[in-house]
Amino acid sequence: MNPFHLRFKPHILLSAILLLIFPISVAQAEKDTFMLGNQAYMHKDFTAAITYYQQTAATRGLSASLLYNMGNCYARLEKTGLTILAYEQALRLDHGNADIRSNLQTIRKKNGIYQQDKPWWQWLFDLLGTNQWLLLSGCSFFIFSCCLLLIAVLEKPGAERIPKALAICALLTTLLTLPPLVYGYLHLQDAVVLTKTRLMISPSAEADPAGAIKEGQVAHP
């Protein structure tokens, strides 16, 4: 038996063990930072909690629950702009979350940030998030394509009636999802004002401000 082979086997075994342990250690570290953030929040150390949440976001990415927790911390620190920004981002990831929406409405009401009345079509568009509208549009277009393919291969007269009806319904659904999709993507560039900003008509620094934008208001480019 080759003696070199005998000496080399422990190294292979050690490398395999390290490869198995490393992902577990990384996942545990990510989980620990999130849990440490929750513990810091429970102890009312909101600044430390935000730091831990940011570390979690850097390694694991953003999630609705993470942004929601960060928003709660900013709210405790009375940082209105960052609070609303975190809640708005959380809603992008979890559009139907009632807790996030309730906290967002509460913080806006508390700081006198009132939104303009929405027309009926905008309320309709807001029933689903942009990703949900995209999923619905993609599924309906896929059904439409499958129905067209089925119609093309059917040879029996009259057998194409049901696929045709389904194709028409799927096509209409696809077309109806396009306006909400366009609306949603146009608003992806919306920004949240993080500090109170004066509105200046004149470029001169000495000119009187024409008004101000409150911290936490959403600005549409």
Q: Is the pLDDT of residue 201 over 80?
A: no
Confidence bin at 15 (pLDDT 50/70/90) = low
Q: What is the tens place of the pLDDT at every residue in 144-183?
A: 999 999 888 887 777 778 889 999 999 999 999 999 998 8
Domains of the chain by residue range? 116-189
Task: Tell me the mean pLDDT in the region 14-18.
Answer: 51
pTM: 0.74
Q: Which segment of 33-37, 142-146, 189-193 scores lowest on mean pLDDT?
A: 189-193
pLDDT of residue 123: 82
Q: Which segment of 53-62, 98-107, 201-210 scores lowest on mean pLDDT?
A: 201-210
pLDDT of residue 184: 87
pLDDT of residue 212: 73
Q: What is the average pLDDT value for the chain, to the nearest integer?
A: 82
SS (H, E, C) the chain: CCHHHHHHHHHHHHHHHHHHHHHHHHHHHHHHHHHHHHHHHHCCCHHHHHHHHHHHHHHHCCCHHHHHHHHHHHHHCCCHHHHHHHHHHHHHHCCCCHHHHHHHHHHHHHCCCCCCCCCHHHHHHCCCCHHHHHHHHHHHHHHHHHHHHHHHHCCCCCCCHHHHHHHHHHHHHHHHHHHHHHHHHHHHHCEECCCCEEECCCCCCCCCCCEEECCCCEECC
Confidence bin at 205 (pLDDT 50/70/90) = low
pLDDT of residue 19: 54
Q: Is the pLDDT of residue 202 over 70?
A: no
Distances (CA, A) of 209 to 9, 52, 110, 197, 203: 76, 39, 25, 10, 10
pLDDT of residue 5: 45
Q: What is the tens place of the pLDDT at every residue in 99-151?
A: 999 999 999 999 888 777 778 888 888 888 888 999 999 999 999 999 999 88
